[in-house]
Amino acid sequence: MTLIYILGMLLVAAGAYVAGRQKSSSFAVAGGGLARLHSLPSYHGFYVALAAVAPMLVWLIFWLLTAHRVVDAQAIAALPANLAPTDGLTYGARLREINQAAAGVRLEELQPGIAAAGEALNTWRTIADWALLIVGAALALLGFAWASRQLSPEFRARNGVERWVKVLLVACACVAILTTVGIVFSVLFETLRFFSKVPWYEFLFGTQWSPQTAIRADQVGSSGAFGAVPLFAGTTLIMLIAMLVAGPVGLFSAIYMAEYASPRVRSIAKPVLEVLAGVPTVVFGFFAALTVAPFIRSTGEYFGFNVASESALAAGLVMGVMIIPFVSSLSDDVINAVPQSLRDGSYGMGATKSETIKRVVLPAALPGIVSAFMLAISRAVGETMIVVMAAGLAGNLTFNPLEAVTTVTVQIKTLLVGDQEFDSAKTLSAFALGFVLFFFTLALNFIALRIVQRYREQYD
Amino acid sequence: METTTAVAPKPVVAPPPVATQPDAAPKIIARDVNVHYGDKHALKNVTLDIPEKAVMAFIGPSGCGKSTFLRCINRMNDTVASAKVSGLIQIDDQDIYDPSLDVVQLRARVGMVFQKPNPFPKSIYENVAYGPRIHGLSRNKAELDQIVEDSLKKASLWNEVKDRLNDTGTGLSGGQQQRLCIARAIAVSPEIILMDEPCSALDPIATARVEELIEEIRRNYTIVIVTHSMQQAARVSQRVAFFHLGVLVETGRTEQIFQSPHDKRTQDYITGRFG
């Protein structure tokens, strides 16, 4: 039904457009040419079409949000008193039964009340569908009539369309913002539930991570310890190693591509480097676990170090390679955006190429380079697969890169995989970790923004 | 505005005192200079002497090669991949296209001011200190401060910016920015200053300030200026070279070029018949 409605909307839009255009063209014919009109006929058409479609769209959204609730409520109301649900759980169960009855599925012998309610459901569904169509058509007609009456040679349809465009853009921006807010709140509520089971100070400052809770009452040795400090430490360690690789390598290759490479080399090297960004992280994980980690282990043992077979170093190095393209590609773009006149000014003073880059180009490109780094760090912090495969699951509190560590994202993944009650502290702690991760990246972005504002060298 | 009266344009034919020592040894000599940009022959067989401690103006219609020739003098054309320069250019009898010559050293001797003011996005102080820093011209902070102050004074910008040396250079007005660029060029004590239409992005008042400045500093520097404005050429220069379609048509003392040009094309251009 919604599909038909949307098709109808398109038809209404096309029809209204043609009608508006026609009417406006008739002004032009009667009044001596297009020049007499304030707006071109096509703007009149757009204006009328928007006025007809916009209320239809609003009604559709409203209908989608409310109609099914009304229909369900009516179906439940049709149940006899002895079957009426008493709490949320039975409400859902009854609704499923009614839905099955309505769809004609006969798994078992139905209670007569349910069958009746199923019929009621079907009736109300039909009513709701017709309400959608009829009200929608009425709204479209009203909008069309309202806009159509306004049309005249002097009518400023062009400015009117401009306002509609603005509304559209604002609406799109709102979708993005509201989604983010929604995500934050959905995580926030679960986090609060977790903190009602485990005190927040224990979570934030505890140094023991052992998220085993008892599933059955008679299990032993699984009291659970939710001190997340080892996870934060592991995340920070791996992020630092990754940035030590990706920062210099990415930035320097960006400088090479932007300043030194000939256009031909650049046109080949840049896409090749960007291929790195397209490699699935699982493949990087193989590489880390099967090639890099054993190599580090054997090299370390040759020099007499005790290296774990899964080490933070292996995961960090490979992750660093993975995020090189994020640093290099963005930095390359911002370095290219620095005006040539600044370089000329510096060369004209007798500066060499590297002096010019160091003293003029990079400071001018700093804001963009910092945001490239921020993006890379966000990727490193959020990356899961490589760490799962190469760094392990052991929640060691250490800053020794040769030991196995674990990160926040890896633990979130581990906590949510497998059989668990959804309201156990173990599962809920995943949300708390996610929330902390979210705040960590937010804080990082905030700090970077401040740094950039403070030190930016703005060119016009 | 009041300021305009102070800097009223000088009469077109005022004979500048330092101007005319035609027999003094030239600072820059160019012989048969040709420049190609890819297939385009931008400059054809230019032979020209540029005298020391005077202002020489290059005039001519757009695309005539005057900027191209200017950029040959400090080898800024090196940064354009497709440009190919042939012929001989000497500064103080030294071939500047000699492979053994250090371009970086050359550009420290031959400063440049560009068409659009291009201060670095740094503080006013750092803009002027840029050259001395990279060339190691000062031993300590006090010396550097002195160089910055002197350069800004020579560029007659000191009084306007002395209280805000740490403000960013891009925050100045267009005319101040251009004088800052001149101060930046002066700070490395060059012998020659090349100016590529330095006033084309400025309003008349700012233009007058820059012209005054050129008049003041020409005693100490050899200045070559490209300009589209014939009035400006007449006001600031002692010698003029007229370019047309990549060819150097005529050169001579400013008053001679403007009063009795030998070539018909020069005559037509300065009387406004084309260009």
* pLDDT, tens only, A424-448: 778 888 888 888 888 888 888 888 8
Q: Is residue A194 part of a domain?
A: no
CATH code for the domain of B143:
3.40.50.300
Closest CA–CA distance from residue B105 to any residue of chain A (Å) = 6
CA within 13 Å, CB half, A300? 19
Q: Is residue A243 part of a domain?
A: yes
Q: Looking at the complex, does the CB of residue B135 fall below 8 Å from at least one CB of chain A? A: yes
Q: Is residue A195 part of a domain?
A: no
Number of domains in chain A: 2
| Helix ranges, A37-156 (H) | 41-77, 88-103, 112-150
Q: Looking at the complex, does the CB of residue A259 fall below 8 Å from at least one CB of chain B? A: no
Distance of alpha carbon B200 from alpha carbon A165, whole angstroms: 40
A349, A356, A455, A460, best to mutate vs chain B, most B CBs in 10 Å: A349
Distance of alpha carbon A245 from alpha carbon A377, whole angstroms: 12
Instruction: Enter the tokens of residue A337.
Output: 């955006």
Residue with tokens 């991570």: A209
Which carries the bigger pLDDT value, residue A28 or residue A129? Answer: A129
Where are the strands (E) in A182-309, listed by range? 209-210, 225-226
- The pLDDT score that the predictor gives to residue A240 is 92
pTM over 0.95: no
Question: pLDDT at residue A346 above 70?
Answer: yes
Distance of alpha carbon A363 from alpha carbon A359, whole angstroms: 7
Q: Is B141 exposed, middle or buried (0-12, 13-18, 19+ CB in 10 A)?
A: exposed
Query: Does residue A144 sit in the same domain as residue A242?
Result: no
Question: pLDDT at residue A302 above 90?
Answer: no
Q: Is residue B127 part of a domain?
A: yes
- The pLDDT score that the predictor gives to residue B6 is 46
Question: pLDDT at residue B87 above 70?
Answer: yes
Residue-wise pLDDT for B208-227, tens only, equals 888 988 998 888 899 999 99
Where are the strands (E) in A159-264, listed by range? 209-210, 225-226
Q: Is residue A171 part of a domain?
A: no
What interhelical angle do B141-154 and B124-135 show, nearest 10? Answer: 120
Taking CB atoms and an 8 Å cutoff, what residues of chain B touch A457? 120-122, 168
For chain B, positions 202-221, list CB contacts with chain A under 8 A: none
Residue-wise pLDDT for A150-168, tens only, equals 888 888 888 888 888 899 8
Q: Is residue B1 part of a domain?
A: no
B106, B134, B191, best to mutate vs chain A, most A CBs in 10 Å: B134
Instruction: Enter the tokens of residue B7.
Output: 């800097």
Number of domains in chain B: 1
Q: Is residue B136 part of a domain?
A: yes
Distances, alpha carbon A28 to alpha carbons A20, A42, A45, A71, A147, in Å: 13, 12, 14, 51, 18
Q: Looking at the complex, does the CB of residue A460 fall below 8 Å from at least one CB of chain B? A: yes
Out of A155, A175, A202, pick the residue that ends a domain: A155
- The pLDDT score that the predictor gives to residue A253 is 92
Residue with tokens 């949510």: A416
- The pLDDT score that the predictor gives to residue A223 is 62
- The pLDDT score that the predictor gives to residue A457 is 61
Q: Looking at the complex, does the CB of residue B198 fall below 8 Å from at least one CB of chain A? A: no
- The pLDDT score that the predictor gives to residue A222 is 60
Per-residue confidence band for B8, with pLDDT thresholds at 50, 70 and 90: very low
Which residues, in sequence order, are CB contacts of B31 under 8 Å at separation 6+? B47, B87, B88, B89
Domain range spanning residue B178?
Answer: 27-270
For residue A459, give the nearest of B131, B135, B170 by CB distance.
B170
- The pLDDT score that the predictor gives to residue A34 is 74
- The pLDDT score that the predictor gives to residue B3 is 43
Beta bridge partners of B194: B112, B224
> What is the pLDDT averaged over residues A70-98?
80
Query: Does residue A227 sit in the same domain as residue A144?
Result: no
Q: Looking at the complex, does the CB of residue A345 fall below 8 Å from at least one CB of chain B? A: yes
Answer for the pair A85, A91: CB distance below 8 angstroms, yes or no: yes
Q: Looking at the complex, does the CB of residue B180 fall below 8 Å from at least one CB of chain A? A: no
- The pLDDT score that the predictor gives to residue B239 is 92
Question: pLDDT at residue B5 above 50?
Answer: no
Which of B74, B24, B91, B86 minimizes the C-alpha distance to B53? B24
Query: Does residue A140 sit in the same domain as residue A229?
Result: no
Which carries the bigger pLDDT value, residue B117 or residue A111? Answer: B117
CATH code for the domain of A307:
1.10.3720.10
A343/B121 Cβ within 8 A: no
Distance of CA B25 to the CA centre of its chain: 20
Distance of alpha carbon A101 from alpha carbon B109, whole angstroms: 94
Q: Is residue B108 part of a domain?
A: yes
Q: Is the dihedral of CA B91, B97, B102, B107 positive or negative?
A: positive
Mean pLDDT, chain B, as a whole number? 85
Q: What percent of chain A has pLDDT over 90?
A: 18
Q: Is residue B21 part of a domain?
A: no
Taking CB atoms and an 8 Å cutoff, what residues of chain B touch A344? 76, 79, 112, 114, 118
Q: Is residue A41 part of a domain?
A: yes
Taking CB atoms and an 8 Å cutoff, what residues of chain A touch B121? 342, 363-364, 457-459
For residue A459, give the nearest of B114, B121, B181 by CB distance.
B121
Q: Looking at the complex, does the CB of residue B10 fall below 8 Å from at least one CB of chain A? A: no
> What is the pLDDT averaged over residues A120-128?
87
- The pLDDT score that the predictor gives to residue A141 is 92
Distance of alpha carbon A300 from alpha carbon A310, whole angstroms: 13
Q: Is residue B8 part of a domain?
A: no
Per-residue confidence band for B10, with pLDDT thresholds at 50, 70 and 90: very low
Instruction: Enter the tokens of residue B21.
Output: 């020592």
Domain range spanning residue A96?
Answer: 2-155
> What is the pLDDT averaged over residues B70-84?
87
Residue-wise pLDDT for A65-80, tens only, equals 888 888 888 888 877 7
Query: Does residue A104 sit in the same domain as residue A246?
Result: no
Out of A3-12, A94-103, A249-258, least confident range: A94-103
Residue-wise pLDDT for A164-218, tens only, equals 889 989 999 999 999 989 988 988 988 888 888 888 888 888 888 877 766 565 6
- The pLDDT score that the predictor gives to residue A213 is 65
Query: Does residue A146 sit in the same domain as residue A15?
Result: yes
- The pLDDT score that the predictor gives to residue A220 is 58
Distance of alpha carbon A248 from alpha carbon A373, whole angstroms: 10
Taking CB atoms and an 8 Å cutoff, what residues of chain A touch B74? 348
